[in-house]
Structure formats: structure tokens, C-alpha cells
Structure 1
Amino acid sequence: MRHFLDFEKPIAELEGKIEELRRMSEPDGINIADEVSRLTSVADKQLRTTYSRLTPWQKTQVARHPDRPKAQDYIDGLITEFTPLAGDRAFADDAAVLGGMGRLHGRPVMVLGTEKGTDTESRVKHNFGMARPEGYRKARRLVELAGRFGLPVLSFVDTSGAFPGIEAEARGQAEAIARSIEACLEAPVPIIATIIGEGGSGGAIALASGDRILMLEHAVYSVISPEGCASILWRDAAQAAQAAEALRLTAEDLLRLKLIDQIVAEPLGGAQRDRAGTVQSVGMAIEDALSSLNGVDASSLRSRRREKFLGMGREAIS
């Protein structure tokens, strides 16, 4: 069954009636095609109207939709001959960060992704996409390995943030994130990062410090979650909607602020309504981004990347 968000209730009611009418027509042989067609048209119009004026908080809900394609879906749909690589060579493997080698349209690449999981069992396994230090150390190791073998790096970011548990802090969470960012900034190969759902805090930046940052239309990317921001500013997580407005976390806001490079359009109603189509759209955007970096030498890549991140926020402040 399709999962509907709170603001989608009118759409859910219409689509429920359409499904009910379709089921009724089969046993009795009653021709209700005209009514189904009319209701379908009304539902499509309602869907288009709703998604054309989403608030930042509603976009946050869409970005967290349980049926959105996850990192594993992008790997399965885009990467052939994928060989997973595990472990940080120091402590353990972190299932919240996926990584490995494969091919994108025949081109050898290194792939990284934060994986939230799709059901209760897989969400627990992947720690809801919240990586521990060993996850970021694995990411660093694979970025450095990609540099050694001349492989472009593709990352798929979907995390509410790094795991905040005391054991993660004890094992050097902040240092691990910083080293992962450093590895990305120093990589001698192209890095294409895509925000596919939620890009939260340093846990997202650790895998998103790339030459090109793509972002799905209804994804969000911010220094802190709206709930966390509301808890700090108003001491009330219920003010999350107001915080989402203030954080400027939508793709449109971030493109205007030059914090991302491109918005990848989603199907009407969000990526969850056409998972395969969304995956292919992202694949084409990544291919275009990689093509734009063909022939750029390692020194230029590092220099441009450095200037890109040093320049963030200058225009907004001035």
C-alpha cells in the first residue's frame, strides 16, 4: 500500500475512491470508466497543486518518505559489476555507509552512500543512516583508494546526521568526519555527490564535499534538522515547521545560495511515485556532471574544489 503524508490526505481519499471503483467494476461488469477517468483527473490536479506549493517543512517530510529510493536502490539501478568493500581497517564495518567499486555506464567508479534502510530490520541494521566513526573512516579509505586507482567517486547522501551516541564520541566521531571531508577535498579524482533524501549536518558533508553537488527536487540539506534547531532556539521541537523555514534547506534555496550545483527534477508527487524513473534521472545527471570534468587534471580539481568551498556564503554575507 502507498504511504501518504499528512498533507496528502485529500489525494489519498481521491486515490482510495478510484481504487475502490476499479475493484467494483470487475465483479459486476459495471462500466464506470468515465467516473474513474474524472476522479483520476481531479486527483492529478490536486497532486500537481499540492506539490507546486510545498512548504520547507512539507519538503522535509517528502525527503524522509519511507518509500523514497535509498542509496542501495541507486547502486542497484545504476552501478553494474558492483563489488562492496567493507571495514575501516581499524575497528569495524559500519552498515550505515555503503561503499564499493563498480561501473556507471561502463565507466569504472567508486561508490559511497548513506543507507537508512527500508523496513524495521534493515533500518536497525543500517542504524537509520546515522554513521559511526568507522563509517566515516571507511569512506575516507575508499576515497583515498579511488584516488590511487584514478576512479571518480559517486556519493549518495541520505542521513539525518552522524550517530550522536557516547560510544561514537569516544571513538572520535568529530575527527573521523573531519578526516573524511579532508579526503574528499584532497582527492585527485572527480567527486559527484547527490543529496537523495535528507542531508543532515556534518554527517552529510563528510560524503558531499565534491566537485559537483546534485540535489533531488524534494530533498533537504541543512546544518541541523528542523527539530534539532527548534529544540535549541525555542526549546520546543514542535516548532520544527518554523525552523525549517528559517534554515533555507530546500533545493531551490541552496541553489540560489550556490551551495549546490544542480537540482534533479522528481516525478510529480515525489521520487517515491516513480522510483526507477528517479534513479535513471539521477544517473543521467551524474553522467553529465562527470562529462563536464573530463580532462581536468588532479591539481586543477583540488584547486577548484578548494575555492568552491571557501567561497560558500561570501555572496550571502556581502
Structure 2
Amino acid sequence: MSISFRILGKAGGDNALLVQIDSGQTIERLLFDCGEGCLSDVPFADVQAIDHLFFSHLHMDHVSGFDSFFRCTFNRPTKPNRIWGPPETARILQHRFQGFLWNLHEELSASWLVSDIHPGEIRTTGFEAREAFAISHDRGTQPYDRIILEGAGYSMEAITMDHRTPTLAYVVREKPRRNIDTSRLASLGLRPGAWLKELKDSANSSDSVVVDGVARSKEELRKELLVETPGDSIAYLTDFVLDEPAIERLTDALRGCRVMVCEGQYRHSDLDLARKHFHMTTVLSATVAKRARVEELILFHVSCRYESSEWVEMLREASQVFPNVHYPPEWNLKL
């Protein structure tokens, strides 16, 4: 399995994150936020292939590009149409759905599910294209404790933060990988074969597996041969205040995360301004990365109030706290 990703949008403009998770058997594509122009360089077919859209919150710089996404997918019947976000997401998105003239809608077939993520509870609303998205259908509620979605080989976590409105931080984690210790296999004198796949398949309920014509205990072989390693992981953090309690909460939530994609909205000299607008500085972003011991920090969503030379200086300030920090490579902003 592997996680690949791409930061969408330009420095000083709207940004988003596109993540691809390859399980070896399926590929799932996740889009985080959808600001203006963020999908302009993404091929139409790739937009149509997006499985889930996750909003941090619904301020216009994070949702103004939604029409481009919706134009590609409004009547997509080939896979579920799923949108996630903080409270009020379904109400706001219904206005976006209905912001067009629907006079041929009776023959449309797509269904949409929009999930409002409240602390401890997810409330899902359904919309039908054939109804011109005019009716909100209650699709029920479900409790959750950080994990909101179990995908094909990965889980999605959501943490509610404060942007003077609820905003969501997301963490994507691949499930642990189970690999065969080939040196141990050789030392036991066992030959590789199809039985190894069966051994790794926890869904198979049989207690034994046939190896070279001999039935052997799966439990014993797993203890001898299987090595479990953590999967890959990536976090998406933007638009919330980073005071000490927030840093402590995120430190716990991000533990073991490999890549942290985080806003770098303000210079640290503008800390008071950042707190006034419930944003963070690059130094505070770096502080979270350091405390959570992530491997890599990528800063994005920088303010257009600064010149490009100041963006570089903001990166320098962050690097003094957390050295492995950079902007998206496409921005060409380096120390």
C-alpha cells in the first residue's frame, strides 16, 4: 500500500489537498477542501474518480471551487458520491446543489450523501439528482470516536478545532501492513506459495493451512512469520487557532503521522493578528510538528498579505523549530 498526494493551488491563493491511496487492489482518491481554481490543473477524469470530498469548514476560500467538482460529478452513478464536513455542511451544500437550473432532472440517477461531523456524532443527509436536490432526506446518525470512516485499507480521523466556527483537522492512516519475514521462512525450510496469501488474510476463518501437503496451524505460522509494520499516514490541518490546549490535542492525534500538511498563514511577528482571526503562524505549525514527532511538514495556505520574500522568511522561521519543513515543490519557494 502507499499514499501519494498533491497540493493544489498556488502560493497566496486558495489551496486544497488531493490524496491517492493504493491498496494494491483498489485505488481511492480523497479531496480535502475545494477552493477557487484548485481543480483547474486536475484532468476531468481524475476529478470524476474522486471518492470522497472532505471540507475543513465552509468559508468561501475552501468551497468556492466546488462548482468545478460538481460539474464533473453531479450525475455520477458509478460510485457513491460522498461529502464530509463540520456542522451545517449539508445545509450549505444543498444551496450549492440547487444553484443551477434543473429542468431535465427526472432522468438523472445519482444519489449524494453529505455527512455533518459533530463532536462524537455524524449526521448524514441524502439528496437525489432526480429530485433536483430539492429534498433533504435524513439518512440517520452514528456515533464515532475520532475515526469517521474505514476505507479500503485505511481509516480517516477527524478532530474538531476552533476557527470561531467548528473546523475539522483530518488524519488519514493506512492500516498496519502484515509482511512475511522471508529470512525466517527460509530458516524453517518452508517454500513460498499461495498459502502465504491465505496466511496473511485475516478474513479467512480456517484454523489451518496446507504447506507442502501438510496441514499446519495458522496461529503458529503467523507468530513465526508475520511482521507487522505501521502504514503510511498524512494529516491535513488548516484554519484554526493554535493555543496551548489545541497544540496538546493535536500532539496526541498526530502521534506517528508521517506527513503533516498545515497552513502557514501568518508570520510569527503577527501572532496577535493570527489569534484575532483564529489562524496559526508558521512557527506554531512547526511547533505542533515537533511535538507530535511527525517526519515531514509541508506548509500551504499562506496569506497574500506578504511578499514572496517574506514567505521564504516565514519558512526559515519554521525551520528553526522543525528542520524538515518546506512548501509544495511547485511553488519554487526554498531557503
TM-score bracket, normalised by the shorter chain, equals: under 0.3
Report the TM-score when normalising by structure 1.
0.28
TM-score normalized by the length of structure 2: 0.27
| Greater percentage in strand | 2
